[in-house]
Homo-oligomer: A and B are copies of this chain.
């Protein structure tokens, strides 16, 4: 069976980079899970002895600690550096950017608005860089904006990297109509949408489509649903064991894509198995 991979699939740039960093530091430990995929965490543990800490207290002197793509709050990073542990910062550059923007803008006297989920580690980290924590506001929905009390008439805004642009614009427009100056930083990352666009394109040109990812992963389910719109024979699997030969009977070309938490080696196993089917 001939297989064609989507032009963009699986891990985003930041996660790929963090995994390469982890592989380069054997016997280290990540601060929090590097990725929402237990198979990959196990692989890093087995092949590179990369451990996992859940909080700062577990860190011991002379440890090598890897900060994951989401980043961590400013003071946690300071505490870590104050210890004797060696700190390897694998924070995604697309997350470092809003952290530095919040730091700079808040120093320059801007009130800060972050569009994102206040309980998400990325947002917690970005927020922590504000000088005046009472003037760094986080909202998920436009409705929450009327409850905010900005201390300044100059507002700077950033967005969590995985948020939708349309909702960010809605919030930004509200601010522009009510404030003298709004400094808008578009910190939204296109990775999620790139996988979706690529899946849409590929599913239009193949006979059968295989989507690899967690059955409970919302981004994988969305990929599957996009593929089904264009290719009725689209299947969602977690790994190669679920492949059924009957799917490929009378088909000529199989498209493959994967959710954002699916490691390359799981994808490769799937591709290898499908390619062997006659």
Which residues on A are within 8 Å of B, measured CB to CB?
A: 165, 168-169, 172-173, 176-177, 179-186
Bound CA–CA A101/B50 (angstroms): 52
* Complex interface: chain B residues within 8 A of A168 (CB): 176
- Does A184 contact B183, Cβ atoms closer than 8 Å? yes
Bound CA–CA A121/B155 (angstroms): 30
Interface contacts beyond A169-B176, A181-B184: sample of 4 additional A-B pairs, CB < 8 Å, sorted by A: A173-B173, A180-B186, A183-B183, A183-B184
Closest chain B residue to A183, Cβ basis: B183
Instruction: Tell me, rounded to whole Å, the shortest Cβ–Cβ distance linking A215 to chain B.
Output: 33
* Complex interface: chain B residues within 8 A of A181 (CB): 183-186
- What are 26 A-B pairs with beta-carbon distances under 8 A? A165-B177, A168-B176, A169-B173, A169-B176, A169-B177, A172-B172, A172-B173, A172-B176, A172-B184, A173-B173, A176-B184, A176-B186, A177-B186, A179-B186, A180-B185, A180-B186, A181-B183, A181-B184, A181-B185, A181-B186, A182-B183, A182-B184, A182-B186, A183-B183, A183-B184, A184-B184
Closest chain B residue to A178, Cβ basis: B186
Instruction: Tell me, rounded to whole Å, the shortest Cβ–Cβ distance linking A4 to chain B.
Output: 30
Oligomer copy total: 2
Bound CA–CA A172/B179 (angstroms): 14
Bound CA–CA A168/B185 (angstroms): 18
* Complex interface: chain B residues within 8 A of A177 (CB): 165, 169, 186
Instruction: Tell me, rounded to whole Å, the shortest Cβ–Cβ distance linking A97 to chain B.
Output: 9
Instruction: Tell me, rounded to whole Å, the shortest Cβ–Cβ distance linking A163 to chain B.
Output: 13
* Complex interface: chain B residues within 8 A of A185 (CB): 180-181
Closest chain B residue to A179, Cβ basis: B186
Most chain-B Cβ atoms within 10 A of its Cβ — which of A172, A181, A183, A184?
A184
Closest chain B residue to A168, Cβ basis: B176
Instruction: Tell me, rounded to whole Å, the shortest Cβ–Cβ distance linking A183 to chain B.
Output: 5
Instruction: Tell me, rounded to whole Å, the shortest Cβ–Cβ distance linking A175 to chain B.
Output: 8
Bound CA–CA A231/B165 (angstroms): 44
Most chain-B Cβ atoms within 10 A of its Cβ — which of A169, A172, A173?
A173
